[in-house]
C-alpha cells in the first residue's frame, strides 16, 4: 500500500509566487530560460537552471552550475521570498488550463515504495540525467521539482478535496501562459489522518512525469541511508480521471531516400490513407496525421497491425516505431537518432506545419494521445513504454513547494 506523509514545505511568499514559480527545468533550453528570467531576480530558473547566471556555453554539468544554484536558492530563503512552514502539512494544488481543471495532493512519497515498485514506473531513465538531478538535490539539500504521480481515483478523497478548496486559498496566481495555480494548506490533524488512512488503502501509485527526479531521490536516500528527510521525495498526486495527456508528435529530418510518392506507396501497406484532405489532429486511437509537401493525410492503421492483447504492442507510438520508423525511415533507436525529433502536443499541429514547411524537416506525424488507462495497465504489467509516449499538461510549477531533506 502507498505511504504518503505530510511535510513542512518551503513555499513562496504569496504575493511573490507569480514572480518566483516557474516551469520545470527540463521543458526549456538554457537560452529560453535566460530569456524568461531576464529582469526577474526572483525567478526560480536561477535555481533550477542556474547556468543562466554563468557565461553562455558553460557546461550544464560543471560544478559551478550546482554551486550557483545553491547560492541563488539560499538567497531566496535569506531574503524571505521562500519560507518554510513550521509544522508538517499536506497541501492541495489546483491547476486550471482553459476548461481543464485538476486537483492534486502535495505530499512526500516513500523512496522505499519507489524501490519496491509500490510506486510504478513506465519509462527507462538515463544515467546522465539521473546524475544531474542527484547533484542538484545534494547541492541544495532540497527537492525543488515535484514528481507527478497518479492513482486510481478514490471518491472519499475527491469529496474531501472538493470541500477544502471551497475555502480561501493560500496562493493564487495566473502564470503568463494562462494557467492558473492555486494552493491550500491542510494542517488540521484530523484531515491529515484521514488522508493518510485513505492512501493506505490505495495499492499503487504511478509515475506520470518525473522518472529522473524520483530515481535521483531514491539514490540520494540510499547514499544518505535515509538520514534527515531523504527517505521521502516531493510529489503532487492526482486522481487518474483528472489527468490530461497531450500527444507527443514526431518530425522527421528526411524521407530516407524516398520520394514523397514512394513514401506514400510504402505507407499504404501499413495504413488506410486519406490523401490531401486529411485532418491535422487525429480523432481516435490508431489514427495518425501525416504532414507532407504542404498537405495533411489521415492514416489509419490496418487492423492486422494492432490485433494483439499486449498493451504495449497496441500503442500507436509502438506501432509507428515498429512498422514505419524502423523499416521505412531506417530509425531503429529513436532515443539516439539525429533524424527524428519530438514535439509536445501543447505546441499544436501548427508547429509541425511550421517545421516541415520551413524546410527543416521532411514530414511530420501527429499522434492521438496515449490514455492514462493504457499507462497504468502497462505499469501494472511491469512494462516499459516507448520513449516520448506521453506529454502531461499542464506542467507543475517548480517552487510552489520544496522539500528540505537535510
Q: Is 262 helix (H, G, I), strand (E, B) or coil?
A: helix
pLDDT digits (tens, 9 = 90+) for 36-78: 999 999 999 999 999 999 999 999 999 999 999 999 999 999 9
- DSSP output for 344-396: EGGGHHHHHHHHHHTTS-SEEEE-PPPPHHHHHHHHHTT--PPTT--EESSPP
Print the domain residue range for 284.
248-368
Q: What is the mean pLDDT of residues 146-152?
A: 97
Do residues 220 and 252 both lie within one domain? no
Do residues 240 and 271 both lie within one domain? no
Do residues 209 and 265 both lie within one domain? no
pLDDT digits (tens, 9 = 90+) for 75-109: 999 999 999 999 999 999 999 999 999 999 999 99
Q: Nearest to residue 205, comparing CAs of 226, 230, 236, 165?
A: 236
- DSSP output for 70-107: HHHHHHHHHTTSEEE-SS-BEEEEEEEETTEEEEEEEE
Assess if residue 281 is contained within a domain. yes
Instruction: Write out the three cell numbers for 25.
Output: 527545468
Do residues 195 and 143 both lie within one domain? yes
Assess if residue 383 is contained within a domain. no
Q: Is 190 exposed, middle or buried (0-12, 13-18, 19+ CB in 10 A)?
A: exposed
pLDDT digits (tens, 9 = 90+) for 270-287: 999 998 777 799 999 999
Q: How far is CA 275 from CA 290, 298, 299, 305, in A?
A: 9, 7, 9, 21
Q: So what's the pLDDT on residue 348? A: 85
Q: For residue 367, how many C-alpha atoms fall within 13 Å in the half-sphere facing its CB?
A: 27
Assess if residue 74 is contained within a domain. yes
How is the beta sheet containing 363-366 ordered, strand by strand?
271-274, 295-301, 287-292, 363-366, 248-252, 340-344
Q: How confident is the model at residue 386 (pLDDT cuts 50, 70, 90)?
A: confident
Domain total for the chain? 2
Do residues 363 and 256 both lie within one domain? yes
pLDDT digits (tens, 9 = 90+) for 310-322: 999 999 999 999 9
Please provide the average confidence, as pLDDT, over all residues in the chain: 95
Q: How confident is the model at residue 331 (pLDDT cuts 50, 70, 90)?
A: very high
Alpha helices of 225-370 — where are they, by DSSP H?
Answer: 260-267, 316-320, 348-357
Do residues 225 and 361 both lie within one domain? no
Do residues 23 and 42 both lie within one domain? yes
Q: So what's the pLDDT on residue 321? A: 96
Do residues 234 and 322 both lie within one domain? no
pLDDT digits (tens, 9 = 90+) for 5-24: 999 999 999 999 999 999 99
pLDDT digits (tens, 9 = 90+) for 359-382: 999 999 999 999 999 999 999 999
Q: So what's the pLDDT on residue 344? A: 86
CA distance 205 to 150: 6
Provide the CATH number for the domain around residue 294. Answer: 3.30.1760
pLDDT digits (tens, 9 = 90+) for 220-243: 999 999 999 999 999 999 999 999
Q: So what's the pLDDT on residue 318? A: 96
Q: What is the pTM of this model?
A: 0.91
Q: How confident is the model at residue 330 (pLDDT cuts 50, 70, 90)?
A: very high
Q: What is the mean pLDDT of residues 387-396?
A: 91
Contact of 104 with 197, CB cutoff 8 Å: no
Contact of 183 with 92, CB cutoff 8 Å: yes
Q: Is 190 helix (H, G, I), strand (E, B) or coil?
A: helix
Assess if residue 376 is contained within a domain. no
Assess if residue 379 is contained within a domain. no
Count CB neighbours of 282 within 10 A.
22
Do residues 44 and 186 both lie within one domain? yes
Do residues 204 and 254 both lie within one domain? no
**For 337, left (φ over 0), alpha (ψ -120 to 50), or beta?**
beta
Is residue 347 scored above 90 in pLDDT?
no
Is residue 217 scored above 90 in pLDDT?
yes
Assess if residue 387 is contained within a domain. no
Name the DSSP class of 60.
T
Do residues 189 and 294 both lie within one domain? no
pLDDT more than 70, % of the chain = 100
Do residues 259 and 185 both lie within one domain? no
Amino acid at each position: 500500500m502507498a505511504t504518503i506523509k505530510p511535510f513542512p514545505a518551503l513555499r513562496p511568499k504569496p504575493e511573490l509566487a507569480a514572480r518566483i514559480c516557474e516551469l520545470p527545468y527540463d521543458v526549456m533550453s538554457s537560452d529560453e530560460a535566460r530569456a524568461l528570467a531576464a529582469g526577474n531576480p526572483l525567478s526560480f530558473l536561477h535555481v533550477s537552471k542556474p547556468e543562466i547566471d554563468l557565461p553562455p556555453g558553460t557546461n550544464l554539468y560543471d560544478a559551478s552550475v550546482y554551486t550557483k544554484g545553491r547560492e541563488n536558492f539560499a538567497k531566496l530563503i535569506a531574503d524571505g521570498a521562500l519560507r518554510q512552514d513550521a509544522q508538517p502539512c499536506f497541501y492541495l494544488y489546483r491547476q486550471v488550463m482553459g476548461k481543464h481543471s485538476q486537483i492534486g495532493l502535495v505530499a512526500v512519497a516513500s523512496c522505499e515504495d519507489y524501490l519496491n515498485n509500490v510506486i510504478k514506473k513506465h519509462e527507462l531513465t538515463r544515467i546522465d540525467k539521473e546524475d544531474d538531478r542527484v547533484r542538484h538535490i545534494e547541492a541544495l539539500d532540497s527537492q525543488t521539482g515535484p514528481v507527478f504521480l497518479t492513482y486510481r481515483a478514490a471518491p472519499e478523497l475527491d469529496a474531501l478535496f472538493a470541500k477544502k478548496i471551497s475555502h480561501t486559498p493560500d496562493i493564487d496566481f495566473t502564470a503568463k501562459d494562462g494557467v492558473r495555480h492555486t494552493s491550500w494548506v491542510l494542517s488540521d490533524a484530523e484531515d491529515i489522518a484521514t488522508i493518510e488512512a485513505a492512501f493506505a488503502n490505495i495499492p499503487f501509485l504511478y509515475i506520470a512525469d518525473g522518472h529522473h527526479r524520483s530515481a535521483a531521490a531514491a539514490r540520494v536516500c540510499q547514499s544518505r541511508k535515509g538520514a534527515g528527510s531523504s527517505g521521502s521525495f516531493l510529489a503532487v498526486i492526482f486522481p487518474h480521471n483528472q489527468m490530461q495527456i497531450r500527444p507527443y508528435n514526431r518530425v522527421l529530418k528526411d524521407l530516407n531516400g524516398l520520394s514523397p510518392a514512394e513514401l506514400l506507396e510504402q505507407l499504404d501497406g501499413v495504413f488506410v490513407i486519406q490523401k490531401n484532405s486529411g485532418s491535422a489532429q487525429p480523432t481516435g486511437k490508431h489514427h495518425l496525421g501525416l504532414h507532407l509537401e504542404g498537405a495533411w493525410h489521415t492514416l489509419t492503421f490496418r487492423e492486422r497491425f494492432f490485433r494483439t492483447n499486449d498493451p504495449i504492442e497496441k500503442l500507436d507510438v509502438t506501432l509507428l516505431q515498429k512498422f514505419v520508423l524502423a523499416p521505412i525511415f531506417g530509425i531503429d533507436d529513436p532515443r539516439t537518432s539525429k533524424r527524428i525529433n519530438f514535439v509536445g502536443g501543447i505546441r499544436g499541429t501548427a508547429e509541425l506545419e511550421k517545421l516541415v514547411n520551413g524546410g527543416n524537416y521532411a514530414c511530420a506525424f501527429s499522434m492521438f494521445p496515449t490514455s492514462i488507462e493504457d499507462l497504468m495497465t502497462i505499469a501494472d504489467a511491469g512494462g516499459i513504454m516507448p520513449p516520448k509516449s506521453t506529454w502531461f499538461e499542464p506542467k507543475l510549477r517548480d517552487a510552489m513547494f520544496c522539500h528540505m531533506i537535510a
